[in-house]
Amino acid sequence: MGGVNLISSQLPDAVIIETAPQPDACIIWLHGLGADGHDFEPIATALKLPGAIRFVFPHAPVRSVTINGGMQMRAWYDIVAPDLRMQVDREGIRHSRRIVDAILDEQIAGGIEPGRIVLAGFSQGGVIALETGGRRQPPLAGIIALSTYVALVEDFPSAKPDSPPILMMHGSMDPIVPIALARESRQLLVDLGYQVEWHEFQMPHAVCPEEIAIIHHWLVQRLDYV
């Protein structure tokens, strides 16, 4: 961040980091199952983005997760089996979509243009990023979907002429979200008319340095820092 001191605060439902005063762009980043908003907090520094940017790292609601023996943890929706398309928690996904919509509306009401907002997510967070970002009007600047998939296949909306571009990346050795499911999801998005940039890496369910470099370049273009 060019030596800029990050301004960080902890709100009840999110971690907020601003790279400089009076940010004019926003990146909302959604964590995976069992984590919280602090999980991706280091990304605000690692991306080394120019400009004044507000990073918002929301905490998912605490809920019972069936696949983990009903344990209470932060989760954007319930998962019942390793087969992620089995008994999809539609209401949980829609509830989390409403949460993220409210965060987006708050940022826009605070003066940040929709075209200066990127919605990103990892794993479960990526499902919600896709579900929410694909429906927003006016459209967002872009969607980043990492190690994730499309959960509500039959309900996912077709792209509009101004739908945001999607950056989708995945590990070929992912034991949680199989690469075949991610590739299938990518093809679905392409078939629905979305512009999808796809990268895969030899890694498990994780984020690698190569992804950070690609995300940096992609965000610089999306946010007009060229």
Residue 31 pLDDT greater than 60, yes or no: yes
Structure tokens that stand for 194 in this block: 């979305």
Active site residue 59: no
Write down the mean pLDDT value for the chain.
93
Contact between 44 and 19 under an 8 Å Cβ cutoff? The reply is: yes
Summarize the confidence of residues 122-134 as an average pLDDT. Answer: 97
How many CA within 13 A on the CB side of residue 13? Answer: 11
The confidence score (pLDDT) of residue 79 equals: 96
Catalytic residue of the set 31, 147, 174, 185: 174
The confidence score (pLDDT) of residue 12 equals: 52
Domains and CATH numbers, the chain: 7-222 (3.40.50.1820)
Catalytic residue of the set 96, 123, 147, 185: 123
* Separation of alpha carbons 218 and 213, rounded Å: 9
Active site residue 217: no
pTM (predicted TM-score): 0.94
What are the residues whose beta carbons fall under 8 Å from the beta carbon of 26, sequence distance 6 or more? 53, 54, 55, 56, 107, 112, 116, 117, 118
Residue 176 pLDDT greater than 70, yes or no: yes
Catalytic residue of the set 95, 199, 205, 216: 205
Active site residue 155: no
